[in-house]
Amino acid sequence: MTCLSTATGKSKPNLWLRITKYFREVRMELRKVAWPSRKEVVNYTIVVIVAVLIVAAFIGVVDFVVSRILILLSRIGR
């Protein structure tokens, strides 16, 4: 391993060695990952889309109700 000396006397690996070490370690960690199957990914995607639609509908209904209440209150205040 080639090292460069600094002014403090400590040695530090050169940039190329640090980059290659980083990618080697990333590759080793990615081999440890338990990747989901295609069926799991499709199921999880459907769950997320349904949840987003439910939350969007809820926010839409609340927005509609609150805006109608504010319109009624503004008419009463006139």
In this model, does residue 2 exceed pLDDT 60? no
**What's the pLDDT at 78?**
75
Beta strands in 1-78 (DSSP E): 3-5, 11-13
pTM listed for this prediction: 0.59
If you ran DSSP here, which 8-state letter would residue 5 be given? E
Burial code (b: 16+ CB inside 10 Å, e: under 16) for 31-43 equals eeeeeeeeeeeee
**Alpha carbon distance 65, 58 (integer Å):** 11
| Cβ proximity of 36 and 44 under 8 Å | yes
Q: What is the pLDDT of residues 26-76, one digit of tens each?
A: 999 999 999 999 999 999 999 999 999 999 999 999 999 999 999 999 998
What does the block give as tokens for 13? 């690996």
Q: What is the pLDDT of residues 11-29, one digit of tens each?
A: 777 999 999 999 999 999 9
